[in-house]
């Protein structure tokens, strides 16, 4: 199974490397106030991918923190409930 996963990773890497090599031409991005940035297309795509991943993680962060607080609260309740029968039975 591990061999299959590494084989899939290798194939994916080869495909992405080929995509990067085929799309290495320069592109120019125009921003507000006549600002512009010229970079290879693959770099622009990579920056967009990283920004999208960061925004996705940032959007997920409040839910993750809420779930962790809820989990901590439930674990404290469980530990209190587990401690009561032992103290009463001992």
Would you mind telling me the total number of residues written for the chain in this entry? 90
pTM score? 0.58
Q: What is the C-alpha to C-alpha distance for residues 85 and 88, in angstroms, rounded to an integer?
A: 5
Which sequence spans correspond to the domains of the chain?
22-61
| Residue-level pLDDT at 10 | 92
pLDDT by residue (tens digit) across 3-61? Answer: 899 999 999 989 988 888 887 888 898 888 888 889 888 888 888 989 999 999 999 99
* Residue whose C-alpha is closest to residue 23's, from 6, 46, 2: 46
- Say which residue, 75 or 17, is predicted with more confidence: 75
- 3-state SS assignment for residue 42: helix
Please give the C-alpha separations between residue 77 and each of 70, 74, 85, 90, in angstroms, as whole numbers.
11, 5, 13, 20
Instruction: Please tell me the number of Cα atoms within 13 Å of 52 on its side-chain side.
Output: 6
| Residue-level pLDDT at 6 | 92
């Amino acid at each position: 199974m591990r061999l299959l996963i590494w084989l899939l990773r290798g194939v994916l890497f080869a495909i992405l490397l080929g995509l990067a090599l085929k799309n290495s031409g320069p592109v120019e991005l125009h921003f507000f106030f006549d600002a512009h940035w010229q970079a290879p297309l693959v770099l622009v795509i990579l920056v967009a991918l990283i920004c999208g991943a960061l925004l996705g993680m940032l959007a997920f962060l409040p839910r993750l923190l809420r779930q962790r607080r809820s989990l901590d609260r439930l674990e404290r309740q469980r530990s209190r409930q587990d401690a009561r029968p032992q103290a009463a039975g001992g």
